[in-house]
Each structure stands twice: as structure tokens, then as C-alpha cells.
């Protein structure tokens, strides 16, 4: 079954959801739906703007630990700042999602960008003047992460405002290219600029955020959210409630959290580095190992669109979920170093594909007025599991070595994959069949009926 087809088993569910869909589109709306995504200037302006912001973020983030090590020599403090950044971005994604459902989304992204332009611009000036200290570095890093936590759900929520339902999957797949390209390109740019002058990575990031802001001004379509109805309260907690009410999203977010705990990038790289060192690999050989592993994510982002078009959603989710435990078992038993990187690359390959598909279902199922809060909840839940996984990997490796680390990863990812065996996942229709299947203010009786 291809992604454009619906099996007989899910036909009744699809018909029920279609009844809740908007009325037939007007002729001008049909014309918009038929326009290729590459010719949608509003979406491409948003995508390019977010690409500059992502590159700026990655460029600055690799420079923070370099600056801390150069000025204080403390790896512990560098790690503490990195943990504080992750925690801040995770926590701020919740109020960020709420703001995205209450105010003009373009304005909110502009404000976050301009705050980072000022923060990083002033920071680069202070570095040139040799007026930095550990507390200032911590404040700038955490302040930038706070803006990231607020802007991330806003940028993703804006996609539904700029593309028709038939292109949501394609648009979210294109987003994955931006993320992984920035992840691959930002660190070498930041490291290279830092080698020229310590302030240059932060100055370059400030300029990139300014370019991102200018590109947002090219979006012509209004990005204001639907006004709240009389008596309607857009509570922050509603994002979590919608996830809990919607069976498909609920099952998938459980798998995502467990998978992130077992295979978070930081944790997997830590396991690979420690394993390579225990097997006598040189630093350059270890670097090659990590490069091989990282290529998997970039390749996955490039093929996400075509794969999603040709393979049924249920097959994609099931395959991606069970690749995790199978790969972990292979990691526990394979010898050498380079094979480790190849196996992890196969794991990372699935990430962009399943992320794009999950976000397409979320965009289709959740009304525009609740997109921000649900995305904030998703980001919080997916990010908060990662530090637990990193801690477990480090602790288990110190006590028992790599075989037990990969064995625990296999158990965690296997348990996390169990929800994908649910009939709801095995009989998934394409995302567009579920357009606005759940609303933030659905009556309790209707919610209960849909959950059965």
C-alpha cells in the first residue's frame, strides 16, 4: 500500500474523519493546492529564514564550549552550560507553544530572532574587548536557548498556515533537510571561525539571525491565529490533553520518547567514543567513526520526501521502530570500530523520515489554533527523555562496559517500539485523511467516542 492509498480496513475511520473536514474549497483555494511547493514563496521564505536561524544556532553552540575551555579550562563547566541550554529549550517550548497560539506567529519569530541578534552581537563585542567571564557566557547561552525554545514550536506551527493539507507531508519532509544540513554545517563553520578569532562565530550567528529576520518579512500571507471564541480558554496544558486524547499521536509520542532515550545523538556518540577508545582506536579514527554515523541523518533528510511518497505510513513507522532494537543488538555483538558507525548511520537514517511523517500527522490532526501548544508539548516530551538516556549510557559504561550499554539500549528501544504494533498504527491512512480530526475544544462525548 502506498502513502496515497487507503486500505479497506481503515476506510470507516477515514470516512468518519472526513465528515469533520472543512467544506469544499473555493476555486482560488484549489488553485493554491495545485501550486508546487517550490513555487509557494511564503513557505519557502519561512523555510529559508529558519535555515539561517538553524545554521546560526549550530554555529554559536559549538563555539560556547570552545570559549569556555579557552578561558576557564573547565570541561565540567562546559558540560554544565550545555545541559542548561538543553533544559532551558525543553522547558521554554511549553510557553512557546502557548504564545504561538495567541499572537501573530511571524511577529513572535521576529522578536526571538532580534533578541538573539542583540545578545550575540553585544557578546561578540565584549569578546573583542576581552570583557567576558563564565557567568556572562552562561547568561548568553541560556538566553539564546530560551529564544530557541519559544521559536521552535512557532516555526513548525506556521507551516499549516502556509501550505494546503495535501502538501503538509512534503513540507515537513523539506524541513528535515534544513535541520540536518545545519547540524552538519554549523559545527565546522563555528570551529573554523573560532580559530580565526574567538568573537567571529557569535558575530556570524548574529548576522545570520538578522538575515533570518529579513526573510520573514517576505511572507505575504497573514500569520495571525484564529481568535478565541467567547469563553474559550487556551490553556497551556491543552497541548498535552490533545496528545492524550488522540490515539495515533499518543502511541507515536510514547515510541518517540523511548527511542530518544535509547538513541539520542549525544548519548550514542558518547557510547561510540567510549567504545572506540576501549578498543584502542586513535582520535582520528574515532572522528571518522562519528562522521560515518552522522552522515546517516543527512542522507535520511534528503530521501525523506520520496520515501514517504512511496512507502505506506504504517510500514515506515513499524520498520523504523524495530530498527532500533535490532541495531542495538548488532552493536553489542559486532567487532571492530567502523562497523559501529555504519550501524548507527542506519539508525540515524530513519530519524528525518519518521520525524517528517509524525509532524505531518500532527499538522493534519490538530486545528491551527492549537498547533503551537501541541508542538510545544511534543518538543518538551521528546527532549526531556534525552538527558536520562545520556546519564544511563555514561553510568552503565563505567560499571559494565559497551556490551551492556548496547544491551540496555536494545531493551529500551524494544519496549518503546511496542506501541507501534497497535492496530491503529498498523492501519494508518495517509496524514491528509485525518485533517483536523481532533480539536482543542471537542466535546467530551465526542472525544470518548473517537478514543474507542
Give the residue-averaged pLDDT of 262-284. Answer: 75
222 part of a folded domain: no
Residues 256 and 340 in one domain: yes
* Lowest-confidence region among 229-238, 314-323, 334-343, 387-396: 229-238
Summary mean pLDDT of the chain:
79
Residues 199 and 275 in one domain: no
Which comes out higher in pLDDT, residue 192 or 383?
192
169 part of a folded domain: yes
* Lowest-confidence region among 206-215, 247-256, 307-316, 439-448: 439-448
Residues 291 and 180 in one domain: no
Q: 161: domain range?
A: 37-216
Domain boundary among 184, 216, 248: 216
| Total count of domains within the chain | 2
Euclidean distance between CA atoms 249 and 272, whole angstroms: 32
End-to-end CA distance of the chain: 25
Closest CA to 120 of 209, 213, 216, 194: 209
Residues 298 and 255 in one domain: yes
301 within 8 A of 176, measured Cβ to Cβ: yes
Residues 61 and 180 in one domain: yes
Percent of all residues in the chain with a pLDDT value above 70, rounded to a whole number? 85
Q: All 3 cell numbers of residue 331?
A: 552493536
* Lowest-confidence region among 1-15, 280-294, 367-381: 1-15
For the stretch 73-118, pLDDT in tens is: 776 777 778 778 878 888 898 888 888 888 888 999 999 999 999 9
Contacts of 381 (CB under 8 A, 6+ apart): 243, 253, 256, 257
31 part of a folded domain: no
Residues 191 and 270 in one domain: no
Q: What's 150's domain CATH number? A: 1.20.1250.20
* Runs of H (alpha helix) within 246-370: 247-263, 265-278, 283-310, 313-333, 338-365
158 part of a folded domain: yes
Residue 319, pLDDT score: 92
Residues 192 and 252 in one domain: no
Residues 293 and 376 in one domain: yes
Residues 170 and 260 in one domain: no
Q: pTM of this prediction?
A: 0.71
304 within 8 A of 176, measured Cβ to Cβ: yes
Closest CA to 409 of 293, 352, 331: 331
12 part of a folded domain: no
228 part of a folded domain: no
205 part of a folded domain: yes
Closest CA to 332 of 320, 350, 344: 344
Residues 193 and 331 in one domain: no
229 part of a folded domain: no
Residue 230, pLDDT score: 56
Euclidean distance between CA atoms 77 and 89, whole angstroms: 18
Residues 138 and 250 in one domain: no
Residues 57 and 117 in one domain: yes
Amino acid at each position: 500500500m502506498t502513502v496515497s492509498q487507503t486500505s479497506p480496513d481503515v476506510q470507516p475511520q477515514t470516512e468518519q474523519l472526513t465528515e469533520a473536514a472543512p467544506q469544499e474549497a473555493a476555486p482560488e483555494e484549489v488553485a493554491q493546492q495545485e501550486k508546487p511547493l517550490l513555487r509557494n514563496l511564503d513557505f519557502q521564505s519561512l523555510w529559508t529564514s529558519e535555515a539561517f536561524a538553524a545554521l546560526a544556532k549550530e554555529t554559536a553552540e559549538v563555539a560556547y564550549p570552545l570559549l569556555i575551555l579557552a578561558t576557564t579550562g573547565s570541561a565540567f563547566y562546559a558540560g554544565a552550560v550545555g545541559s542548561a541550554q538543553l533544559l532551558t529549550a525543553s522547558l521554554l517550548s511549553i510557553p512557546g507553544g502557548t504564545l504561538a497560539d495567541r499572537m501573530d506567529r511571524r511577529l513572535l519569530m521576529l522578536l526571538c530572532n532580534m533578541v538573539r541578534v542583540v545578545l550575540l552581537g553585544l557578546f561578540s563585542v565584549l569578546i573583542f574587548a576581552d570583557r567576558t567571564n563564565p557567568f556572562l557566557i552562561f547568561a548568553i547561552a541560556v538566553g539564546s536557548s530560551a529564544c530557541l525554545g519559544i521559536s521552535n514550536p512557532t516555526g513548525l506551527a506556521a507551516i499549516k498556515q502556509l501550505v494546503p493539507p495535501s502538501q503538509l507531508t512534503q513540507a515537513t519532509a523539506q524541513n528535515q533537510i534544513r535541520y540536518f544540513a545545519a547540524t552538519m554545517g554549523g559545527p565546522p563553520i563555528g570551529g573554523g571561525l573560532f580559530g580565526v578569532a574567538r568573537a567571529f562565530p557569535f558575530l556570524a550567528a548574529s548576522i545570520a539571525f538578522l538575515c533570518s529576520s529579513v526573510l520573514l518579512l517576505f511572507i505575504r500571507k497573514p500569520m495571525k491565529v484564529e481568535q478565541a471564541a467567547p469563553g474559550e480558554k487556551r490553556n497551556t496544558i491543552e497541548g498535552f490533553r490533545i496528545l492524550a486524547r488522540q490515539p495515533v499521536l499518543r502511541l507515536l509520542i510514547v515510541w518517540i520518547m523511548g527511542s530518544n532515550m535509547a538513541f539520542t545523538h549525544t548519548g550514542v556518540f558518547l557510547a561510540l567514543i567510549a567504545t572506540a577508545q576501549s578498543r584502542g582506536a586513535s582520535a582520528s579514527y574515532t572522528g571518522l567513526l562519528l562522521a560515518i554515523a552522522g552522515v546517516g541523518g543527512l542522507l535520511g533528510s534528503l530521501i525523506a520526501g520520496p520515501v514517504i511518497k512511496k512507502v505506506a505510513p504504517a510500514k515506515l513507522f513499524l520498520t523504523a521502530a524495530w530498527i532500533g532494537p535490532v541495531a542495538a543488538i548488532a552493536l553489542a555483538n559486532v567487532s571492530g570500530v567502523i562497523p559501529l558507525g555504519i550501524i548507527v548511520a542506519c539508525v540515524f537514517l530513519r530519524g528525518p523520515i519518521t520525524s517528517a511523517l509524525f509532524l505531518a500527522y500532527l499538522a493534519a490532526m490538530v486545528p491551527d489554533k492549537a498547533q503551537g501548544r501541541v508542538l510545544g508539548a511534543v518538543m518538551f516530551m521528546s527532549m526531556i527523555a534525552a538527558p536520562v538516556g545520556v546519564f544511563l549510557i555514561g553510568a552503565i559504561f563505567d560499571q559494565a562496559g559497551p556490551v551492556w550499554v548496547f544491551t540496555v539500549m536494545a531493551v529500551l528501544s524494544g519496549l518503546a517500539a511496542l506501541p507501534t504494533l497497535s492496530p491503529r498504527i498498523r492501519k494508518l491512512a495517509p496524514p491528509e485523511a485525518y485533517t483536523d480530526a481532533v480539536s482543542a475544544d471537542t466535546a467530551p462525548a465526542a472525544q470518548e467516542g473517537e478514543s474507542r
